[in-house]
Amino acid sequence: MPQMGVSVAEGTITAWRKRPGDWVERDEVIVEISTDKVETEVPSPAAGRVAELLVEEGSTVDVGTLLAVIDTGARPGQAHADESTGNGNGKAPPVSPVVRRIADEHSVDLAAVSGTGRRGRVTKKDLLAFIEQGAGAPAKPAERPLHSESPYREEPAPAPAAGTAEGEQLSVLRRQIGEHMVHSLHTAAHCTTIVEADMTAIEAARGRLSYLPLVARATIAALREHPRLNATLEGDRLKVWDEVHLGIAVSLGEEGLIVPVVRNAHELSHEGLGARIKDLAARARSKQLSPDEVGGGTFTITNPGRYGALLATPIINQPQVAILDLEAVVKRPVVVSDGQGGDSIAIRPMTYFCMSWDHRALDGVGAAEFLGSVKRNVEGWSD
């Protein structure tokens, strides 16, 4: 199990891309791994034939655990020409004639039988053992009923408050997100502060681009002013970071959410930030992120606003101390001052910046000062 970033201690095998007997090239994806921080594809460290897989799919093991053995002395051969055609793609290899025949005779669904053969093949032994356990319905000739026998079967007692449909198993990533969020709620003293900001300057500056990089840039500037928000809290140790490693939450749709990190974001312009965010998001969706790109963040921005939501109270991405939530930019009538005491009502693109912060690390004043700083930077944006 590779070290997935600094703070990751374990990982879960979500899917093996190769099976024993398969040929794997160096840097070809061999396994998909999920940690509390990331779901990623792990490239093979060497070329060779997969000799053995030591950890089953779904198992979680510590970093450093041996996952598979690759025979680097082997040679790719014609006999394995079918490998590239995708037998390794989680699909079971073809079954032998005798297995097919016995399965048919016993009406066994071979997908239900776990195979111990090469590449997970269901062997005759596996199948016979499966049938022995009574899983398969042996194709016995129907017995004629005895005098004492009837088709009558007692109805089972009604189940208490039967639920809806069977439901489906949460994905590994979903479960990890869940554990992570619940853990955060249980750990941090969550408090949410909201400010309203006029996005006119940003709207003018962004053109057809997303406002996210510009707001991120404004946020980074505010973090430099208020470094206690750019911090991590583990146990009773608060670490205030000089560099800003900015996490950007990226939705993977139904699969879940991932937070790649723009490292040393304080060194980047809003154009640089834009490019990095775009790259990270794309790679997050294609599961190409490296473990270090999803760990080590010091502050997180989440951005569900484009879906029209107005307000939210986000959960802090532990062990950070605050998370800024960007909501929809909506045109509203607002009172504007002309600077000479004259007020008027104007239509302005407005938004709310909602920030959850950890009361263990700071107090409301700090949060408000920081948000005020973000607001000023946004409203006073100039390239």
Give contact residues for another protein (rule: CB under 8 A). 96-101, 117-118, 121, 123-125
Q: Indicate the residue among 32 and 126 with the shorter CB distance to another protein.
A: 126
Q: Indicate the residue among 100 and 376 with the shorter CB distance to another protein.
A: 100
| Nearest-approach distance from CB 59 to another protein, in angstroms | 22
Q: Name the active-site residue from 27, 82, 104, 363.
A: 363
Phi then psi for 24, rounded to 5 degrees? -130, 135
Q: Indicate the residue among 108 and 324 with the shorter CB distance to another protein.
A: 108
| Nearest-approach distance from CB 50 to another protein, in angstroms | 14
Q: Name the active-site residue from 266, 279, 359, 383.
A: 359
| Nearest-approach distance from CB 140 to another protein, in angstroms | 20
359 a catalytic residue: yes
Structure tokens, 365: 């004043």
The residue type at 108: V
Residue with tokens 């194709």: 139
Q: Indicate the residue among 91 and 306 with the shorter CB distance to another protein.
A: 91
Query: What is the CB neighbour count within 10 angstroms for residue 93?
Result: 18
| Nearest-approach distance from CB 138 to another protein, in angstroms | 18
| Nearest-approach distance from CB 95 to another protein, in angstroms | 9
- Helix segments in the chain, DSSP class H: 97-105, 124-132, 172-187, 200-206, 212-225, 270-285, 364-379
Q: Indicate the residue among 65 and 123 with the shorter CB distance to another protein.
A: 123
279 a catalytic residue: no
CA distance 221 to 226: 9
**Strands in the chain per DSSP E:** 10-16, 23-24, 29-34, 39-43, 48-53, 60-62, 68-71, 190-198, 231-234, 237-240, 246-248, 250-251, 257-258, 261-262, 299-302, 322-326, 330-337, 343-358
Tell me whether strands 299-302 and 322-326 are parallel, antiparallel or unpaired: parallel
Catalytic residues: 359, 363
